[in-house]
Structure 1
Amino acid sequence: MSLLLALAAQAAAAQPAPPAAPDYRRSEHWLCLPGQKDVCNTPLPTTALTPRGYGSNGPSTVASGPKLDCFYVYPTVSQDRGMNSDLVVSEEKAAASSQFARFSGVCRPYAPVYRQMTSAAIGAAALGRDIMPNFAIAYGDVREAFRNFRARNRGRPFVLVGHSQGSWLLQRLIAEEIEGKPNASEMALAIIPGFNVLVPDGKTIGGTFKSTPLCERAGQRGCVVSYVSFRTNNPPPPGALFGYAPAPGMTVACTNPAALGSRGWAKMDSYWPTRTTYAVPGGPIRWSTEGAPPTPFVRTEGLASGRCVNAGPRGYLEVRTNVTPGAKWSDRIGGEVGVGGLFIPGWGMHLADVPVAQGDLLGLVEAVAR
């Protein structure tokens, strides 16, 4: 036995340690900081879109003296060569703008630059390559950034915000840095859609997290909002990357941000980027019969509805559009991930996870602040 332990120790020692994390005391390693002129403190021109067509337009707001701080980890966006990104900001700004900048209206924004796993790494993982050493680099950066964030915010209550890879990293951060620690009482909310959170079937706690529950009502503190989106009539296929639990007795958590604790359909408050280059099933979206949108974002209240579905290992937010005869707004939304002209069934409406319910997510942050 001692020989086996010695050999195991030698094997562990042979693995190179992850490179040191950036120095997050330096502002250049942050996409967003409170009071800094950056992408999160830049108002976003937005137009209301209703069944009657385009309505009022105006910029998003930046709150003065909000009660909460938000810590954001962006999703997989890097096209850098190699398995981990560099620290030169490029695609990351667009992600922070569309997913996180509006949160500056309800909390002070913090968003670190980190050496995330690149698109190439995600492709390599799909082919069976072990990317956990690359995950360790990304997570080490996020952990160090979070510790620096906690030193900066001096015990103020905080909200975690992520998507996709960002949500995966925040899952581990909650498990290692928050659960059972003083931080737990100061985490007001965790918003981590786009990556499976596992719970025992029929339960709101257990599985991915030991003591952090799923949110069941607006205003509940210290809980998790998590879901993966799939278009109605297109549920996750067996073995799907998202929406299908690989462990017996487990299901994928679904908390509908438009109606926490409900299993019924609820109309969603959405913010859509209108100038995206992502492919959409059926071709580009014509947002209104009145012509092209006048701003880079439109807000639609009730164009899409969602409901949580849990059936054995499957768990997902089912999304549909609400067709209104004679309406001037679109009856189509995007969200599927396209590769080589094909859309990946097991990813569902991954790109719509945040925009389809962004207004509802902002409302949940407002509720815990109250």
Structure 2
Amino acid sequence: MSRQPWAALGLIVALGLGGVACSQPAPAPAGPPPPNDYARDDAWLCRPGRQDACAADQTATVIAADGGTTIEPFKPDPKAPIDCFYVYPTVSSDPGGNSDMVPDLPEKAVVAHQLARFGQVCRLYAPVYRQVTIAALRKVMMGQASPGDGDLAYGDVRDAWKHYLAHDNHGRGVVLIGHSQGSRILLDLIAREIDGKPVQKQLVSALILGMNTPVDPATGRYGSLPLCRQAGQTGCVISYVSFRADSPPSDKSFFGKVAEPGKTAACVNPAALAGGPATLHSYFSDRTIMGSAMRPATTWAKGAEVTTPFVELPGLVSGECVSHDGFDYLAITVHPDPADPRTDDIPGDLLAMGMRVKDWGLHLVDVNLTIGDLVEVVAAQSKAYGAKAK
């Protein structure tokens, strides 16, 4: 069985037609859903020049080890020299196997956590797509066949990408950003539409987060794309899945191992591209990527009032890419201090009945953990890409 859950989600259910009377012939099967028109403004969660989901406030409260606080303002750059094209993870609360094209709160809210901060370094594009839903994922987790159509989800993103290239890109460099199901789709998009094609020269980087990117351990490449291993390197891939260092993946874990023979799951630490441990530049929130409030709410520091959407806790969290029992992942360590008024732990675990689902690791905050580092990496890549393009 594949260890990539979104591959499983792509299965199409074959429904039998039982109990049909002879006088009532079975209805003809429905044709494929019509393609989306990505010339429509409402087919995009984010586009430059709009007040949309990407206009979410990114202001953060910085809480130092002594409990002191400062406010870090945020200002996007509408004239950023490169673009970011983002595909969001499985968040849709629609009841069917695939979502509709009317984004619900979770589809809008996840953008605040995973994309809007990149507005400092790139122009933001995020298509709405008919993703495989949370409802479909639940069926898979219960051992049932998925009612979701992964090909439909991929086809939407492919069509949005082609529309973006034809009408919006104008030869600019572009960063691909995805998480979970979004990353799975971007891996397919790279393989089918980018690798070896003329547009590859415009790829600044691909951030394939919270997903198993299969790479050849001898070359460290996904197709022809190398992993990013130094600041300013372009045309490369950053990919990782995250687990607590003291709770590594088990044989039941979805993340950290690939099904392809002879391949390993890529792990690149955005805070230390060449390898080794490093303090992470994280941005945490009291709200989940689904937009709902944390239960229970996090107390970030005793006596500290937090009124901003995001919190920074400098020095509290570090990460290092490790290999353990055939798994490759970003091992996350929290460094509590009894004398430190700040929280001694971080949110991000998938919970079931109030208990951690350890096999999913810190999947819910894969992006939050390193987004400050990722923005810095993309800023350096943008500068290097611009210098090469001159």
Q: Tell me the TM-score normalised to structure 2 length.
A: 0.85
Q: Give the drift of 1:20.
A: 2.5
Distance in structure 2 (CA, Å) of the matches to 1:17 and 1:331: 54
Aligned to 2:280: 268
Aligned to 2:96: 82
Q: Give the drift of 1:287.
A: 0.4
Aligned to 2:213: 197
Q: Give the drift of 1:194.
A: 0.5
Aligned to 2:359: 346
Aligned to 1:256: 269
Aligned counterpart for 1:188 among listed residues 204, 212, 234: 204
Q: Tell me the TM-score normalised to structure 1 length.
A: 0.89
Compute the RMSD of aligned alpha carbons. 2.1
Distance in structure 2 (CA, Å) of the matches to 1:251 and 1:231: 20
Q: Is 2:65 the partner of 1:65?
A: no
Q: Give the drift of 1:58.
A: 4.2
C-alpha offsets along residues 31-79 of structure 1, whole Å, 9 cap, x if unaligned? 1100111121344232112212242214321103111100011111111
Aligned counterpart for 2:309 among listed residues 284, 287, 296: 296
Distance in structure 1 (CA, Å) of the matches to 2:320 and 2:218: 16
Q: Is 2:124 the partner of 1:109?
A: yes
Q: Give the percent of matched residue pairs that are identical in Structure 1 and Structure 2.
A: 43
Note if contact 2:78-2:119 (Cα within 8 Å) is conserved in structure 1.
Answer: no
Q: CA 1:83/1:54 → structure 2, altered by over 3 Å: closer, same or farther?
A: farther
Q: Is 2:109 the partner of 1:94?
A: yes
Instruction: Within 5 Å, give how 1:1-370 maps onto structure 2.
Output: 18-90=32-104, 91-131=106-146, 134-151=149-166, 152-201=168-217, 203-205=219-221, 209-262=222-275, 264-276=276-288, 277=292, 284-311=297-324, 313-370=326-383
Distance in structure 2 (CA, Å) of the matches to 1:306 and 1:16: 49
Note if contact 1:201-1:312 (Cα within 8 Å) is conserved in structure 2.
Answer: no
**Structure 1 stretches of 5 or more lacking a match?**
1-10
Aligned to 2:388: none
Note if contact 1:335-1:352 (Cα within 8 Å) is conserved in structure 2.
Answer: yes
Note if contact 1:250-1:312 (Cα within 8 Å) is conserved in structure 2.
Answer: no
Note if contact 2:287-2:293 (Cα within 8 Å) is conserved in structure 1.
Answer: no
Q: Give the drift of 1:335.
A: 1.2
Q: Give the drift of 1:87.
A: 1.2
Q: CA 1:129/1:210 → structure 2, altered by over 3 Å: closer, same or farther?
A: farther
Tell me, what secondary structure is at the counterpart of 1:273? coil
**Structure 2 stretches of 5 or more lacking a match?**
1-13, 15-27, 384-390
Q: Give the drift of 1:328.
A: 2.4
Distance in structure 1 (CA, Å) of the matches to 2:131 and 2:199: 24
Q: Give the drift of 1:339.
A: 2.5
Amino acid at match of 1:367: A
Distance in structure 2 (CA, Å) of the matches to 1:356 and 1:26: 34
Amino acid at match of 1:285: T
Distance in structure 1 (CA, Å) of the matches to 2:313 and 2:31: 47
- Structure 1, 118-127 or 181-190: larger mean CA deviation: 118-127
Q: CA 1:133/1:338 → structure 2, altered by over 3 Å: closer, same or farther?
A: closer
Tell me, what secondary structure is at the counterpart of 2:164? helix
Note if contact 1:50-1:328 (Cα within 8 Å) is conserved in structure 2.
Answer: no
Note if contact 1:51-1:328 (Cα within 8 Å) is conserved in structure 2.
Answer: yes
Q: CA 1:310/1:16 → structure 2, altered by over 3 Å: closer, same or farther?
A: farther
Q: Give the drift of 1:179.
A: 0.3
Note if contact 2:286-2:294 (Cα within 8 Å) is conserved in structure 1.
Answer: no
Q: Give the drift of 1:93.
A: 0.9
C-alpha offsets along residues 212-263 of structure 1, whole Å, 9 cap, x if unaligned? 111111211111110000001211101411113334433211000100021x
Q: Give the drift of 1:188.
A: 0.3
